[in-house]
Amino acid sequence: MTWLTAESPLIDWQQGLVTFPEQAQIASEEEANPNPLADLPAQEYDIAINLVPDAKLSPGPIYGMTDAESKALKQHIEEELATSKIRPSTSSAGAPVMFVKKANRSFRLVVDYRKLNDVTHKNVYPLPRQNDLMAKLQHAKLFTKLDLQWGYNNIQIKEGNEWKTAFRTKYGLFEYLVMPFGLTNAPAAFQHFMNNLFRDLVDITVVIYLDNILIFSENPEDHPTHVREVLSRLLNNQLFCKLSKCHFHVTTVDYLGIVISPKGFSMDQKKIEAVTSWPTPKTVKQVQAFLGFVNYLRQFIPNFSLVARPLHNLTKKETPWSWGNLEEQAFQELKHLVTQSPVIIHSNPDLPYYLVSWTQSHDQYKWLHAGPSPNLGGSRYASGVAMGAILSQQGEDNCLHPIAYMSKSFSGAKTNYNTHNKELLAIIKALEEWRIFLEATDKPIQIFTDHQNLEYWMQAWTFNRRHVWWQIFLSDFNFKIHYCPGKQSGKPDALSRQSDYVDEPVEPEVMLPAEVFANTSEEELEIVLEIRSKLKEDPSLEPIIQFLTEDADNAPPLIQKAYRDYNWEEDLLWYRRKLVVPDSEALKEQLFREFHDLPLTGHLGQQRTLELLGRNYWWPGMKSSAKEWVKCCPTCQANLCPHTPVIALKPLEVPPFPFHTISYDFITGFPKSQGFDAILVVIDSFSKFGHFIPTSKKVTAKGLADLFVTHIWKLHGLPVKTVSDQGSTFTGKFLRALYQRLGIKPAFPSAYHSKLDGQTERVNQFIKFYLRSYIAADHLDWATWLPLAEYAYNNAKHAATWKTPFKLVYGRNPVMNPSTVPANVPEADLVANTCHALEA
């Protein structure tokens, strides 16, 4: 009865009359071509089959056929020769052919072009996303659907390329003159052809997916004009439609398996019946076939990824076949959800959007079978294996109705994200999925979650590189996140049934004020954006990106092994969790300026500069680049100390823990700076962590004790052992009495060598080099730079431990870039501004 719905006839049951509405006049009989297939014009568009360098094509085997298949093959060849689609060939190539049975039990010829496709240069012209096509129909009132006759055969093979399409049969060798089915570039080429033909109409009155054309009109009176224009272009290009598959001037139409009407979208009833009558799978291939079919309908199914997860697990190579209760429940639940799917309404940009997101774990699978709707409380499980979201708007009944569902499984490194990251990732992916609706809206997107802890995460002062990219993405959207406790939020689909939900929300709390995004340094954002923009300009990275963004699982084993350490995430390329930098000299110079020249890094040597940069970035030959940069750095060359002869020093015992043993020394000879003229250098012998304390060269024993209490003991406790140079100040009676009272055993160097404390001496050289690199010409600002020198020293990998002192003491390395948030303290802003000015 589908034709009754499509044609909408008037039925008089008493008189037994069926009256069809008068069809609009589209074309006159005189305009029709009485012999449309005569003298086919040469089309401007054809397809070339470009092979990769050194590619070779060898002939394939000839498969055996039954009598029925042989008869069908002979008939097919005769028909194709008669219509000039193929011709006899003398090609050195020859793909094998076979038959597959259609649903009506007839035969369809298939040419096995796998060998040709393997050596064909791929055309990456994109096919339109189904969601993008449907989004253009939000105001449409009338539709016409056209289906082209012969599909790909409407495009000719470029002259000189015909031999590559040759196929071998028991009746001879033939080659195609038109584009056959089975070529790897056929879909891309055909979509390109159709988009060029209707370039000025696409997304305005027409949407096109390969040979499926849908004409739509907001004003029904304009529809005949729109249809006439499309048909005229098809006729002028000798493209013809299958009348049996065309529907003219209808208010409801089945397009790409989805029923479209002015009210919204719904599933095709035939597909619903096909799913509900699907037999229980007995093999992995049958599971894959079922998942492939229902996956097409996933936009109508909430929590598809989570519900289908047990079935997806069965398709993994390492999983043995076992159809148990969990798999059967998942199979039956998917069938149930298909029958319960609601009508998805068209989006309306004039109304606000409501987004509910959540994450779930295996523990939630039990309650999923009580109904089709997930409970937001499920996102409290940190071990979530899937994420989901619903995008809704108010309908004419003032209730929320779904526009779309999203469901994705966590994969790869994302499975190890903590709760905060998983919850925010669910929001990120939902915004990314529905960007075509949400990015341009001028009304704040209302996002609901039951995770109040997101507020703490977003207000933290430290962002890692993943968060930096998320912050860049989120800045494109106008949104507010509201906290709704799990008990009050209920099931997300309940939102679409409660008319009072929007009018009387449960005291929503804004969790993400826009100002918190100012915490990430502009330098970091600029570098990430620059890397992202230049990645695809680097030809050396093209095969890696292509491997990661296409079907990596089906790549040859050697390719999989070669690229196994790479990952593609957030449109960025990663190598062993480090951001890959494309081959751009300007970009590399920018990184070296940040990780070598800035006061926070301190003009370190080649190895330490390489280590700092290598914490987060990588490119081939980075070691050579670092060596060349340091070698050519004018500041480094101008401030290098003369080489000091190596003197044999007495080795110190390795302490058992940080700040068990400390060594200290004075550096003097400085001009007055903020009232100081000397530096007290204190070094932890275990971690090599240093404190650089400005002081006076005339400091008394009591003053020195005060410095230790203020800067050392309050942070690290009492050292068990101290090492000094046995100067008069250090060995004063007051310090000896203080050591004795505190139970500290002082250890003084042996008399034979006054430079026993070699580690402090090396640090002293670093401090002098650092200050020479940054202080003003009059040297009166050295005290201002001393804290930055301390930071740069503690953040550099030490030659003795091959770790940074900072990490040995605190268990992590510090955040590198200064915050761009004003400190409201003039002195602090002065130092930060100086850092930015030096970088610029």
pLDDT digits (tens, 9 = 90+) for 57-73: 888 888 888 888 889 99
- Kindly report the CATH class assigned to 522-639: mainly alpha
CA distance 112 to 114: 6
CATH number of 47-262: 3.10.10.10
Whether the predicted pLDDT of 795 surpasses 50:
yes
- Give me the pLDDT at residue 6, please: 56
Whether the predicted pLDDT of 129 surpasses 80:
no
SS3 call for 548:
helix
Which positions ≥6 away from 177 have C-beta within 8 Å? 84, 85, 86, 87, 156, 157, 162
Whether the predicted pLDDT of 678 surpasses 50:
yes
Which positions ≥6 away from 826 have C-beta within 8 Å? none
Q: Which residue has the higher pLDDT, 742 or 434?
A: 434
Percent of all residues in the chain with a pLDDT value above 90, rounded to a whole number: 6
Q: How confident is the model at residue 729 (pLDDT cuts 50, 70, 90)?
A: low
CA distance 567 to 579: 10
Digit-coded pLDDT (tens) for 546-577: 778 776 666 677 777 778 888 888 778 888 88
Whether the predicted pLDDT of 495 surpasses 50:
no
- Give me the pLDDT at residue 32, please: 56
Whether the predicted pLDDT of 87 surpasses 90:
yes
- Give me the pLDDT at residue 588, please: 82
Query: Exposure string (b/e) for 694-714, b if CB count within 10 Å is 16 or more?
Result: bbeeebebeebbebbeebbee
Which positions ≥6 away from 8 have C-beta within 8 Å? 21, 250, 251
Q: Which residue has the higher pLDDT, 749 or 539?
A: 539
HSE of 582, CA atoms in CB hemisphere, 13 A:
22
Q: Which residue has the higher pLDDT, 375 or 268?
A: 268
CATH number of 661-815: 3.30.420.10
Q: Where are the domains of the chain?
A: 47-262, 273-341, 343-519, 522-639, 661-815
- Give me the pLDDT at residue 175, please: 93
Question: Model pTM greater than 0.75?
Answer: no
User: What integer is the mean pLDDT of 196-221?
Assistant: 89
Q: Label residue 163 exposed, middle or buried (CB < 10 Å: 0-12, 13-18, 19+).
A: middle
What is the token pair recorded at 240? 């013809």
- What's at 765, amino acid-wise? Q
Q: How confident is the model at residue 739 (pLDDT cuts 50, 70, 90)?
A: low
Q: How confident is the model at residue 513 (pLDDT cuts 50, 70, 90)?
A: very low
Instruction: Give the C-alpha distances (Å, rounded to integers) separating 836 from 515, 562, 778, 823, 826.
Output: 21, 40, 22, 14, 15
User: What integer is the mean pLDDT of 612-635?
Assistant: 80
Equal CATH topology for 343-519 and 661-815: yes
Q: What rounded mean pLDDT belongs to the chain?
A: 74
Which CATH superfamily is 273-341 part of?
Reverse transcriptase/Diguanylate cyclase domain (3.30.70.270)
339-343, 362-366, 593-597, 605-609: lowest mean pLDDT where? 362-366
In total, the chain counts a number of residues equal to: 840
User: What integer is the mean pLDDT of 231-247?
Assistant: 85
Whether the predicted pLDDT of 380 surpasses 50:
no
In the DSSP assignment, the letter for residue 120 is B
- Kindly report the CATH class assigned to 343-519: alpha beta
